Amino acid sequence: MTAENHLKTPAGKPRARAFSIPFDGEPGPWNAITDVPGVSVGYVTLVSGDGPLKIGAGPVRTGVTAILPRPVPDLATPVFAGIFSANGNGELTGSHLIEEVGAFNFPITITNTHSCGVTRDGTLRWLSRALPEAIETAWGLPVAAETYDGFLNDINGHHVTFEHVAEALDTAASGTVEEGSVGGGTGMITFGFKAGSGTASRLVGWQDKKFTLGVFVQSNFGRRHNLTIRGRRAGVELVEPKVVEGTPRAEKGSIIAIVATDAPLLPHQLKRLARRVPLGVAMTGGLGYNSSGDIFLAFSTANPQAATGLSGQLAQADYIPDTDIDRFFDAVVQATEEAILNSMVANQDMTGRDGNFVPALPKDFLVKAFSPAQ
């Protein structure tokens, strides 16, 4: 029996499982990145105005997403991490430090391309209030990522503010996670359909323990004809409905994926998890085209003492051996694929700047393609 929150979002929008789409693996209770204990997600969504673009006035179709890897009092404690860029036409701040030391601390934010600096700096402003002692002693290099929403949004109007960043961070919570056109994903497009924010999780057994792995995506990539849903070449069948361009659409697609787990894994292993995200993207038809920024971050909440480290003291960390890591690779691919499809299914048509129109993935197609009665 499928849990109700696996079928619909908190706002009542359908998720992919509502259409009997068959997925591999066992999801967690929320089927979300928040199934990983201590991880929370917050959003601010900005939607206003219609008609012709007036830079600075709108129309606005954007927002900011905040992902906290630990509860607020523990945010200064680093998490082991690894990153992978499948195609580098994008931005993820803090990446150089992660490559250097295999860890980061503080929240992650995701927004539109031209607001990435605002969310990075806004995180530091928020930290100076929420954790003033930590911001004095830790490296002030928070993770901020972006994808492009300029087809629907007044991206050069810079509508995301420091106050919006603080609100997303303050309201971050565990439990069910809203999906679709929310937060940083508000103005995003995937395979020519409305997309945005999506998440999924998998439970991974090892010895007598069960660990959780969750994925969150801001999905904004792909061309219609490549869309694949559980092996079905759906994009070839779905010629309609089409995107309507009041102004020509630039090919500026990207995907950001955040992988979280409570499994004890070392930085080199987390980098290996991040490298498997593109396989989940490919399951949906994403091929990493030239204009796409495909950047992925994986972190583990385990081993907090080792990740912190104390000068003059020997640090010790538990970790699952590489010989047993394949089941975690499976979980990354499975959860990434489902998170992308959730970002599309939990969505509606959207009209933005200059009358630019992006249709939602047709629900009747999903019913016909995957309903057990068919």
Specify if 245 maps to a domain.
Answer: yes
For every residue of 204-261, DSSP letters joined together read EEETTEEEEEEEEEEEE---GGG--BTTB-HHHH---SPPB-SSPPP---EEEEEEEE
Specify if 59 maps to a domain.
Answer: yes
Residue owning tokens 């630019």: 356
Q: Grade residue 253 by pLDDT with cuts at 50, 70 and 90.
A: confident
pLDDT at 373: 60
Set 35, 154, 262, 294: catalytic member: 294
Residue 349 annotated to the active site = no
Neighbours of 166 (CB within 10 A): 19
Q: Domain range holding 142?
A: 18-310+317-354
pLDDT at 252: 74
Over range 120-136, report the average pLDDT.
Answer: 93
Alpha helices by DSSP H, the chain: 4-7, 95-101, 116-130, 132-137, 162-170, 234-237, 267-283, 304-308, 326-345, 363-370
Of 3, 1, 18, residue with least CA distance to 344: 18
Specify if 366 maps to a domain.
Answer: no
Give me the chain's average pLDDT, please. 95
pLDDT at 126: 97
Q: Which comes out higher in pLDDT, residue 175 or 374? A: 175
Helix (H) or strand (E) holding 43: strand 40-48
Encoded amino acid at 84, one letter: F
Q: Domain with 280 in it: what CATH number? A: 3.60.70.12
Residue 254 annotated to the active site = yes
pLDDT surpasses 90 at 263: yes
Specify if 248 maps to a domain.
Answer: yes
Set 95, 115, 174, 292: catalytic member: 292
Q: Which comes out higher in pLDDT, residue 202 or 2? A: 202
Do residues 44 and 183 touch, judged by C-beta distance below 8 A? Answer: yes
pLDDT at 185: 98
Q: What is the pLDDT of residues 175-186, one digit of tens each?
A: 999 999 999 999
Q: What is the pLDDT of residues 279-333, one digit of tens each?
A: 999 999 999 999 899 999 999 999 999 888 888 889 899 999 999 999 999 999 9
Specify if 158 maps to a domain.
Answer: yes
Specify if 182 maps to a domain.
Answer: yes
% of the chain surpassing 70 pLDDT: 99
Number of domains in the chain: 1
Do residues 168 and 41 touch, judged by C-beta distance below 8 A? Answer: no
Set 115, 201, 254, 343: catalytic member: 254
Residue 197 annotated to the active site = no
Specify if 81 maps to a domain.
Answer: yes
Name the 3-class secondary structure at 171.
Answer: coil
Specify if 63 maps to a domain.
Answer: yes
